[in-house]
Amino acid sequence: MFLVLFNNKYKFHMYQVLLIIHSILRYAFLFSALYAIYRSVSGWQNKLPYTDRDNKASVFLILFTHSQVVIGLLLYFVFSPYTATPMKEAMKDSVLRFWKVEHISMMLIAAVLIQVGRIVSKKASTDLEKHKKAAIFYIIGLLLVLASIPWPFANVARPWLRY
């Protein structure tokens, strides 16, 4: 009995800690995405060479994207109270459905698109193609992320910053 109580208490504490980290890192992701998109769009539109700064912007975007995915998967599969709800029951409740299905699905698709954007832009033969491919994939990925965020004004509201 003690072990079960300890594990539940530990899981709740870890859930709260990871949720705070996930919440803070979303801003690092957002800023890195906006910067990488800015670099790629301006490089594409102005026909600029693909420089080390463009590569670093892309690396930071991938770093924060992957960090968010790892923490999100830990929250989802290990610590989240939402995922314990059976799927049939969760599909009837818009909040549970958002957390159990919609949020994770859209975020994973966005992360895959951002990663694919990095890969195809690195493999592109010209600087113009590198910028163009990065811009397209990063913009679509960011739009999916923005569509999947639990905005404070939405039905699944979460605060702008957890602490």
Q: Where are the domains of the chain?
A: 2-148
Residue 2 clears pLDDT 50, i.e. is over it: no
Enter the pTM of the model.
0.87
Q: Report pLDDT digits (tens) over 27-37.
A: 999 999 999 99
DSSP 46-96: TT----HHHHHHHHHHHHHHHHHHHHHHHIIIII-SGGGS-HHHHTTSHHH
**In this structure, what token pair is assigned to residue 158?**
């979460």
Q: Measured over all CA atoms, what is the biggest interatomic distance in the chain, rounded to whole angstroms? A: 66
Q: Report pLDDT digits (tens) over 29-85.
A: 999 999 999 999 999 999 999 999 999 999 999 999 999 999 999 999 998 877 777
Question: What is the total residue count of the chain?
Answer: 163
